[in-house]
Amino acid sequence: VEPRQGRRRGRPLLGQRAFLQREEEGEGAVGPGGGPVRGWRPGPPPPSRCTQVAKAVSAPAAASPLPPAGLAKRMKKSKQPPQVTKDLGRWKAADDLLLINAVLQTNDLSSVHLGVKFSCRFNLREIQERWYALLYDPVISKLACQAMRQLHPEAIAAIQSKVLFSKAEEQLLSRVGSSSQPALDTFQELLHKHPDVFYPARTARALQLHWQLMKQYYLLHDQT
């Protein structure tokens, strides 16, 4: 989902207003639509398969002498748990599914950080690192996919109901007049007319509730 160009200047829509003050600049990771994901500062690229294979078949180095017993114990105690184990402890399958869907909607990790409520209070860097791991770390990606496949359909539906509204969705909702009292049929018609814009799990009731929230914050087209 690429950010749309040429949007009307003025007060930010509901999905953006809280995010602008902390939005970061810089090169982004590649998003689901091929564009950059904002709010991401890339680290070193993962090693290529060629590099891994080359290391595996390289000539073995000469055996080094064993460290003293006391030093070996200290080295063993100082070892940190692998990143995969740490991630499995904090990032749940529901968090990963919510993260993926949120990025698909906003293409902005800063927006995801400020607008999505995960099971833990992850900071922006942790969200960036998790997204990077899901994209490029084959071990974490495989484990995450296996866990997400085991989610109950009701849990998936609950996660989908929390997905952030995109700018395009809010732009369509903002065209519904603030002086009207639109019924559910109005929002059902929007869903039928713009199936390519609205998230597949959206319902007419969800659109109505979000429109009411936008109206409360004076974010409709005829209020700005």
**109-124 confidence digits (pLDDT tens):** 999 999 999 999 999 9
Instruction: Determine the pLDDT at residue 13.
Output: 46
In order, the DSSP letters of 70-122 are: HHHHHHHHHPPPPHHHHHHHH--HHHHHHHHHHHHHH-BHHHHHHH---SS--
Average pLDDT, the chain: 75
Measured torsion, CA atoms of residues 125, 127, 132, 134, in degrees rounded to the nearest 10: 150
What residue spans define the domains of the chain? Answer: 14-41+84-160, 167-223
- For the cut 70, the answer to whether the pLDDT of residue 169 exceeds it is yes
The reported pTM is: 0.62
